[in-house]
Amino acid sequence: TARLPHPGPAGGTPAQSPGAPGYRHPAPPQPYPPYIQPYGWQPPKPKRSVGRKIAIGAAVGIALLWGAGCVSVLSRLGDSTDDSSSRTPAGASGQHRPDPKPVSFKGINIPRGYWVRFADSPPKPTDEQNTSNASFGKNADFYYDDDPDYSEDQTPVVGTAGDKVVLLNNAEHGSLATCRRVTRYAENIHLSQLSKGSQICVHTVSGHIGLVTYRGAAGRSSPSDYITVDLTVWRNAEPASDDEQ
């Protein structure tokens, strides 16, 4: 009898073809190394634009002009303050008072034992019965009398109750400025020291300043004893003395 071919094993895996290649999965991508800045030469930084420089310069210029304007305004304010303070009334303490206007009188005759007051207009000779000497008279701004003190010079004297008179020399011109400047004070001046045209600065206790110009004395044949003077007065030209206050 004929033999049948022997069947293969049931459920067996068929044999793979020797020529079929096997399937491979793709490899994952490799990471790149980090970028490192190399040492050595580097490209220059971009320059600032010209427009920015101009803007900065303009801002600086405006700031300088503004500062100068502030200084000018402050200076003007200071000047105006100084001007206003200089116009402060003279009554304020420590403020400069304007110079008073001079008042002049000519040909005043002052008898011996009399005095005149600079506040009077015109000044008239005055005396007091209870006064032993004109130098002690009340408000005796300029007097003519005997010397109240002992002196070898027996001639009469002229003076003021404030004991501040100055005989100007020939090089000094009588004025308010001169009378304020010279300080050769004397209590009185003997008539023998005077000549026609002599000028005397008189400082009174009331604060008046007077310029007396001597014109001469009565002659020996005159029945009265007097002197003749011209007078210029600057009233309240200086602070009153402590005796007046």
Per-residue CA distances from 214 to 21, 40, 95, 211, 234 (Å): 156, 107, 35, 10, 18
Q: Is residue 82 part of a domain?
A: no
Of residues 60 and 116, more confidence is placed in 116
Q: Is residue 110 part of a domain?
A: yes
Of residues 61 and 18, more confidence is placed in 61
Judged against a pLDDT cut of 90, whether residue 16 lies above it is answered with no
* Tokens, residue 123: 């000044």
Q: What is the pLDDT of residue 84?
A: 44
- Give the other-Cβ count within 10 Å of 168's Cβ: 19
**Distance between CA atoms of residues 110 and 232, nearest Å:** 15
Q: Is residue 16 part of a domain?
A: no
**Distance between CA atoms of residues 146 and 62, nearest Å:** 81
Q: What is the pLDDT of residue 240?
A: 92
Q: What is the pLDDT of residue 29?
A: 58
Q: What is the mean pLDDT of residues 16-44?
A: 55
Which H or E run includes 56?
A: helix 50-86
DSSP 186: B
Judged against a pLDDT cut of 90, whether residue 17 lies above it is answered with no
| Cα 125–Cα 126–Cα 128 angle in degrees, nearest 5 | 155
Q: What is the pLDDT of residue 130?
A: 80
> How would you list the strands of the sheet with 114-116, edge to edge?
114-116, 142-145, 157-159, 188-190
pLDDT range class, residue 6, cuts 50, 70, 90: low
Q: Is residue 244 part of a domain?
A: no
pLDDT, mean over the chain: 79
pLDDT range class, residue 21, cuts 50, 70, 90: low
Q: Is residue 181 part of a domain?
A: yes
Q: How does pLDDT run across 78-118, given as a tens digit for each residue?
A: 554 444 444 444 444 556 778 999 999 999 999 999 999 99
Q: Is residue 190 part of a domain?
A: yes
Mention every residue, 6+ apart, whose C-beta is less than 8 A from residue 24. none
Q: How does pLDDT run across 121-172, given as a tens digit for each residue?
A: 999 999 987 888 898 888 899 999 998 887 788 889 999 999 999 999 999 9
Q: How does pLDDT run across 161-211, given as a tens digit for each residue?
A: 999 999 999 999 999 999 999 999 999 999 999 999 999 999 999 999 999
Per-residue CA distances from 161 to 19, 37, 141, 148, 203 (Å): 157, 106, 6, 12, 9
C-beta separation of 103 from 235 below 8 A: yes
Judged against a pLDDT cut of 80, whether residue 231 lies above it is answered with yes
Q: How does pLDDT run across 217-226, given as a tens digit for each residue?
A: 999 899 999 9
Q: Is residue 142 part of a domain?
A: yes
Q: Is residue 200 part of a domain?
A: yes
Domain that holds residue 229: 103-234
Q: What is the pLDDT of residue 61?
A: 67
Count of the separate structural domains present in the chain = 1
